[in-house]
Amino acid sequence: MPTCIKNIGLLLNPKADGSWDELCNAVLLFDAEIIRYGDESDILADLEEGTEIIDAGGCLVTPGLVDSHTHPAFAEPRAAEFEMRNQGKNYQEIAASGGGIRSSVRTLRAISEDELVRRMLPRLDRFLEFGITTIEAKSGYGLSLDDELKQLRAIDRCNKQRPLDLVPTLLAAHEVPDEYRDNRRKYLDIVTEEIIPAAADQKLAQFCDVFCEEGVFSLEESRQVLEAGLKHGLIPKIHADQLSSTGGAELAAEVGAASADHIDYITDEGIQKMIDAGVVFTLLPGAVIFLGLTRYPPARRILDRGGSISIATDFNPGSSATQNLQLMMTLAGVFCGMTVRETLWSSTRGGAMALKMDDRIGSLDTGSAADIVIWNCDDERLIPYYFGMNQVKTVFKNGSAITL
C-alpha cells in the first residue's frame, strides 16, 4: 500500500545537471520506490484507498543523504592521536611512529568478525539519525587476506541487519602493514594477486580504492592496484592529493575512476582531466578540520568549470571522527565557498553519482528508492546553518519510516 506525505512546505529534488526541481505545498507518493510528487490538488484527489497519509507540517522534504566515503569497519577510536595532534604532532608523524592506520590494523586484527559487527551496528544507526540512507563502506584496517575479507564480510552482515545500505569498497592498499615494511613489493603482490581476486570472486566489494600519497602508495603502485581491481571487475576509487599533489587526480581520470577523494592539493590539470573523464570530485572537509589543516579543496574552481561534487564525512577513527554529513555541508560552505544548494546537491545526487547509483538513489525521481528525509525546518539553509546540530525530523528508507 502506498504512503503519502502531505503538507510539504518545500520539496527539493536534485536533478542530474546540478539544478533543482522545487515545489511548495507539495505531496509525495511512494511505496518502496518514489511513485510521484506534485501539487496537493493533483495527488490528494485520487489516492488509492488505504494509503497511509503523513503530515509533514509544512517542513522541507529531500532525498535521503548519501555518504559516499566512509571507513566504519574499525575496532576502536584513536582519541590519543587527536590530543597528540592538538599538542603539535601531525598526521604523518603519528603514522611514521607506528600509529595512524597501522594502529587501527592491530586493534582490528585482534577482534573477531562477530565482535566487529557488534561494534559497527550502533554506528549504522547514527548515520540514519543524521538523515543518511546509504553509505559507502571501506575495508582497509585488515591489510591481510583474512582480515580484509573479515571486514568486508562484517560490512555485508551489517548491510543485511540494518535498513541503512552499505556499498562495499576494498581498500587493502590503505597502508603497508607492519610485517611488510621492509618488503612493500611483497605486500603489493598480495593485494593484487590474492586480496583483490578473492574479494571480487566472493562478491564482497564493488569498488577498489588506494591511498595514493607520499609515504604511502606511489602513483605507480596506485595504478597497479586500481588496474588489478579493474581486471576483476572492481570500479576504481582513489584517495588522491590529500596532503600533497601526487598526480592522483590525473590517475583517477586515466583509469576511469568513479571518484577521486580528498583532492585538497589537486592541480588545475587534474581538475580538467577529471571533468573530461566524468570522474566525481569527492570533498572531505571533515578530514581537513580534524587534522588541524587549513587547505580545503578548490570547490569553486571545480564547479565553475562544470565538475560534479560529492561531499562525504570520511568517517574514520583517525582523520575524521564524525558521521554528521550536515556538518560537512557547513564546512563546504564556510571553507570552500559553496552555496547551500550546492552542498545539498553534493550530499544527495552527487554522493549517488560517486557510487554510480544515481539511477537508484540520491533523488526523488520516479522509480528511485523511497529514501526520504523530512527536516525540522522549511528552509534548507537552516541545515548547515545550525552547525553540528541535527535537523532531521523523520527518515524513510525504501519507503518505511525508521524508528531508532
Query: Stretches 5-13, 192-200, 221-229, 316-324: which one binds ligand NIG (CB under 6 A)?
Result: 316-324
| Position 142 contacts ligand NIG (CB under 6 A) | no
Site string for ligand NIG, 206-235 (x = CB under 6 A): -----x------------------------
* Distance in angstroms (rounded) separating the CA atoms of residues 42 and 146: 56
Least spacing, CB of residue 95 vs ligand NIG, in Å = 8
Strand partners, 52: 3
Residue ranges in contact with Fe ion by CB under 5 A: 314
| Position 317 contacts ligand NIG (CB under 6 A) | yes
Q: Which three cell numbers stand for residue 57?
A: 507540517
Q: Which three cell numbers stand for residue 106?
A: 592491530
Pick from 319, 324, 330, 343: which binds ligand NIG (CB under 6 A)?
A: 319
Q: Which three cell numbers stand for residue 35?
A: 511513485
Least spacing, CB of residue 351 vs Fe ion, in Å = 14
Report the residue number, 71 or 85, with the smaller CB distance to ligand NIG. 71
Report the residue number, 26 or 205, with the smaller CB distance to Fe ion. 205
Number of residues that bind ligand NIG (CB under 6 A): 14
Report the residue number, 37 or 74, with the smaller CB distance to ligand NIG. 74
Residue recorded with cell 522549511: 378
Site string for ligand NIG, 87-116 (x = CB under 6 A): -------------xx--x------------
**29 CB-side CA count, 13 A:** 17
Query: Stretches 177-185, 226-234, 311-319, 367-375: which one binds ligand NIG (CB under 6 A)?
Result: 311-319
Q: Which amino acid is at 351?
A: G
Q: Which amino acid is at 302?
A: I
98 alpha-carbon distance from chain centroid: 27
Q: Which does residue 246 touch among Fe ion, ligand NIG, none (CB within 5 to 8 A, set by kind)?
A: none
Query: Stretches 4-12, 116-124, 318-326, 343-351: which one binds ligand NIG (CB under 6 A)?
Result: 318-326
Query: Stretches 115-123, 303-311, 315-323, 330-338: which one binds ligand NIG (CB under 6 A)?
Result: 315-323
Neighbours of 134 (CB within 10 A): 26
Report the residue number, 314 or 380, with the smaller CB distance to ligand NIG. 314
| Position 288 contacts ligand NIG (CB under 6 A) | no
Least spacing, CB of residue 336 vs ligand NIG, in Å = 17
Whether the Cβ atoms of residue 44 and residue 6 lie closer than 8 Å to each other: yes
Q: Which three cell numbers stand for residue 136?
A: 559507502
Compute the CA torsion angle 90, 93, 99, 102 (nearest 10 deg): 110
Q: Which helix (H) or strand (E) holds 239?
A: strand 235-240
Q: Which three cell numbers stand for residue 236?
A: 576504481
* Distance in angstroms (rounded) separating the CA atoms of residues 4 and 13: 16
Query: Stretches 20-28, 112-120, 155-163, 314-322: which one binds ligand NIG (CB under 6 A)?
Result: 314-322
Q: Which does residue 207 touch among Fe ion, ligand NIG, none (CB within 5 to 8 A, set by kind)?
A: none
Whether the Cβ atoms of residue 138 and residue 167 lie closer than 8 Å to each other: no
Report the residue number, 37 or 217, with the smaller CB distance to ligand NIG. 217
